Amino acid sequence: MLVVVLIIIISFILLVYKSFIQRIIHEKDKQFLAEMDHQKELSLENIKGQEDERKRIAISVHDDIGNRLNILSLWLNNLEPENQEASKKVITTQITELIDSTRNISHSLYPVNLEKLGLVLYLQELVTNLSHKLNLNLQINSKYEKKDTFTEVQIYRVIQEFTSNVMKHSNADEVTVYIRKHSKYLTIILSDNGESFNYEKANKGMGLKNIESRINSVKGFYKWKNAIGKGSRLIINIPN
């Protein structure tokens, strides 16, 4: 009788254990499928983002540089000896603006001089480039030490994307960039004096996703602190 009871108990334990293992496998399969779906979604968003960026650059080249080249061509083909001085002034202006447009498009593709100049000087150049649109206030601690090129490019891009979003959406006229080196982290605080947004309810467009994915790419972590009507603040910590 005892043997029968033991067999029943062991059988029950085995059945429970089998059910438990099957449940774990099922949950793992669900997690795997969910992760695969998430990766597909991220990949699709990345492709859409690349296409949007290519479209933006194509429009910039066509509408800005293309139009300026057409104007230059017309002026060169219709030069009159008696108006050479005026024509020279117009052509010089168009060439200067062409150079500026080309530089801006180049910067949007890749900050080509960042490796040579370093992040601090490149940010100072960004201040100059945006001065007619936005007051960009830099507060960079003197202890800042140059990081590897990849990390500095991501930091620059985050700041560039933040200021771009501010100009597009927040009606702000000032952005402050605070950079300070601590023992374990490089802390970056970006803030503006605009209308801000509710992060939890915000549609996570490519602007926010680009910012957050770039921070993740350098193993950093971040926190948004926004106050509607009182500006946005993004706090970033990147390991040294």
Residues 25-79: pLDDT tens digits?
Answer: 777 667 777 777 666 666 666 656 665 666 666 666 666 667 777 777 776 666 6
Is residue 120 domain-shared with residue 228, that is, in the same domain?
A: yes
Number of domains in the chain: 2
pTM recorded for the entire structure: 0.63
Residues 6+ apart with CB under 8 A from 162: 175, 190, 192, 211, 234
SS3 133: coil
Is residue 227 domain-shared with residue 132, that is, in the same domain?
A: yes
Whether residue 63 is contained in a domain is answered as: yes
Is the pLDDT at 221 greater than 80? The verdict is yes
Mean pLDDT over 128-149 rounds to: 87
Is residue 34 domain-shared with residue 87, that is, in the same domain?
A: yes
Residue 56's pLDDT is 66
Residues 143-154: pLDDT tens digits?
Answer: 888 888 889 988
Whether residue 166 is contained in a domain is answered as: yes
The Cα 190–Cα 202 span in angstroms is 18
Instruction: Give 79 or 200, the one with higher predicted confidence.
Output: 200
The Cα 75–Cα 94 span in angstroms is 10
Domain residues for the domain of 213 are 116-239
**Residues 68, 92 contacting (CB under 8 angstroms):** no
118-126, Cβ contacts within 8 angstroms, sequence gap of 24 or more: 118/146, 118/152, 119/144, 119/146, 119/147, 119/152, 119/155, 119/156, 120/144, 122/156, 123/156, 123/159, 123/177, 126/156, 126/159, 126/160, 126/163
Is residue 141 domain-shared with residue 98, that is, in the same domain?
A: no
Instruction: Give 218 or 35, the one with higher predicted confidence.
Output: 218
Is the pLDDT at 141 greater than 80? The verdict is yes
Residue 189's pLDDT is 96
Distance of CA 67 to the CA centre of its chain: 29
Q: Which of 88, 106, 124 is a domain's end point?
A: 106
Looking from the CA of 49 toward its CB, the CA atoms found within 13 Å total 15
The Cα 56–Cα 50 span in angstroms is 10
Amino acid (1-letter code) at residue 234: L
Mean pLDDT over 202-230 rounds to: 82
Whether residue 111 is contained in a domain is answered as: no
